[in-house]
Amino acid sequence: MENTKGNSRRSFIRNAATGAFIAAVTPGALNAETIEVPTILPSGAKGANDRIRVAVLGVYGRGKNHISEIMGLAEKANVEVAALCDPDMIVLQERAKEFKDKYGKDVTIEQDFRKTYEDKTIDAVALATPNHWHALQTIWACQAGKDVYVEKPATHNIYEGQKMIEAAYKYNRIVQHGVQLRSSVAIREAVKHLEEGLIGRVYMARGLVFRWRPDIGNKGISKVPDGLDYDMWTGPAPLRPFSRNLVHYNWHWHWDYGNGDVGNQGIHETDLCMWGLGVNSLPERITSMGGKFLWDDSKEVPEILSSIYHYPKQKKIIQFEVRNWCTNLEDGAGVGNIFYGDKGYMVVKGYGTYETYMGQKREPGPKRSESGELTLHFQNWFDAIRARDMSIQNGPVQTGHLSSSLAHLGNISYRLGRQLEFDPVAERFIGEGENEANAMLSRNYRAPYVLPKVV
């Protein structure tokens, strides 16, 4: 179902686009509610008979899903995976063999994705690389004239999101954020119910990430494995001595590369919290507490984290909780969302399922469960590429900035150990200790992998 409240899809894109241009002068001004600009239709449309050739970057884990989804849409959407990129040659060779076995044809492989960006026959890139690479790879792709599908979180820090929006509009690129709930038929229906007042005035959203995350130990420093370009893997992050606690998956739990589970699985839920509450800006007050209570391992991020995001002017609040081990579920939801209104509440369980309960007696209301959201999300990306119309995207670049930034704000509060005051227009911390907090809005980038000030 379409989101129709106040023509919200097109209005939101227009308003956020206006903010993106303002951000070039005043960083963070991304919620210009009252300014209307024409919908921007990027140039370079491909005809229905022109095949869209996609390179998949990062093919160890999530990238495998990208490959299968794109190739699954090959006939319907006239698309193909034309290249695979990964700094690990061993992984690349394995994926290339799997590709040949499954699809009966060869695929180009490349360790240095920059060479793929130079290839004029590549139309778009799908990014399933570690978090610390997402923004820079997106910006460079836009500069190279390629459309982008970027996995969650879209960014590793808040400043990166501002620059990604600028790049998307400056170079007229379709940048889709990998929050496939926005393409779920059931969840779009659920949000429409919230907008139309099914559970009354919605004042609170609760995000849940209860995932089984075991002890990862401490494997220490070791030799870089054969076939791995560790400098390329590290990219803009500090070049640490190699450890198998980082490559290939456990980088999620180290601040230089990942953002913990609130910035991993949690982005699906932070995004839905904001979408369902109808908030298109960041909060004014943030407080977050947690820590490591279970394992004496090499993780740097908290195993348990509880965060509160307050929108006092809108009288709305978001609660978010990460648990990494044995736990109860909340009305059957372990990964999902709960929305509270003055007439009832809604539970969103994982992907594509929602239930509603009305009144004091919790009488069951409308519900729905439907799968296939990831395929629909990729199809929506390809549709927007062919139409050259950002306004039809379900997961535009602005949503990537906002939902990722919500997670970053919680992490900053946790790391500083105090409640923070935030200006959602300037996207800067204010009040006591603002300089220390504002220093965490960005990072130092390792040359030559430097985020450009002018995109």
Mutual angle of helices 62-72 and 89-103, in 10-degree steps: 30
> In the chain, count of helices (H) and strands (E)?
13, 16
pLDDT of residue 6: 38
> If you compute the radius of gyration of the chain from its CA atoms, what whole number of angstroms results?
21
Q: Which of 185, 323, 228, 314 is nearest to 266 (CA)?
A: 323
Q: What does DSSP assign to residue 322?
A: E
Measured distance CA(262)–CA(324) in Å, rounded = 11
Scanning 203-317, the segments in alpha helix (DSSP H) are 230-234, 266-277
- 10 Å Cβ neighbour count for 293? 10
Spatial contact of 282 and 406, defined as CB atoms under 8 Å apart: yes
Measured distance CA(4)–CA(12) in Å, rounded = 11
The answer to whether the pTM exceeds 0.75 is yes
Residues β-bridged to residue 310: 285, 317
Here the contacts of 325-329 (C-beta below 8 Å, separation 24 or greater) are 325/212, 325/213, 325/294, 327/210, 329/210
Q: What does DSSP assign to residue 384?
A: H
One-letter amino acid at 285 equals R
Prior bond to 302 cis, omega within 30? no
Spatial contact of 404 and 159, defined as CB atoms under 8 Å apart: no
- 10 Å Cβ neighbour count for 365? 17
Mutual angle of helices 397-416 and 8-23, in 10-degree steps: 60
Task: Take residue 440 and report the two structure tokens written for it.
Answer: 């965490």
Complete domains list, the chain, with CATH: 45-179+375-396 (3.40.50.720), 183-214+247-371+405-441 (3.30.360.10)
One-letter amino acid at 52 equals I
Spatial contact of 167 and 23, defined as CB atoms under 8 Å apart: no
Task: Take residue 327 and report the two structure tokens written for it.
Answer: 């736990």
pLDDT of residue 9: 42
pLDDT tens for the 455 residues of the chain, in order:
334 333 444 444 434 443 333 333 333 333 323 223 334 444 555 666 799 999 999 999 999 999 999 999 999 999 999 999 999 999 999 999 999 999 999 999 999 999 999 999 999 999 999 999 999 999 999 999 999 999 999 999 999 999 999 999 999 999 999 999 999 999 999 999 999 999 999 999 999 999 999 999 999 999 999 999 999 999 999 999 999 999 999 999 999 999 999 999 999 999 999 999 999 999 999 999 999 999 999 999 999 999 999 999 999 999 999 999 999 999 999 999 999 999 999 999 988 999 999 999 999 999 999 999 999 999 999 999 999 999 999 999 999 999 999 999 999 999 999 999 999 999 999 998 899 999 999 999 999 999 999 99
Q: What does DSSP assign to residue 151?
A: P
Q: Which of 284, 404, 396 is nearest to 8 (CA)?
A: 396
pLDDT of residue 44: 56
Q: Maximum CA pair distance of the chain?
A: 62
DSSP string, 83-97: EEE-SBHHHHHHHHH
Complete edge-to-edge strand list for the sheet that includes strand 175-177: 108-110, 79-85, 52-57, 124-127, 147-150, 175-177
Task: Take residue 130 and report the two structure tokens written for it.
Answer: 């570690």
| 3-state class (DSSP) for residue 280 | coil
Here the contacts of 41-44 (C-beta below 8 Å, separation 24 or greater) are 41/388, 41/389, 41/390, 42/171, 42/172, 42/173, 42/174, 42/388, 42/390, 43/172, 43/388, 44/145, 44/172, 44/388
Handedness of CA 165, 124, 135, 405 (dihedral sign): positive
Determine the distance from the C-alpha atom of residue 16 to the mean position of all C-alpha atoms in its chain, rounded to a whole number: 17
pLDDT of residue 47: 66
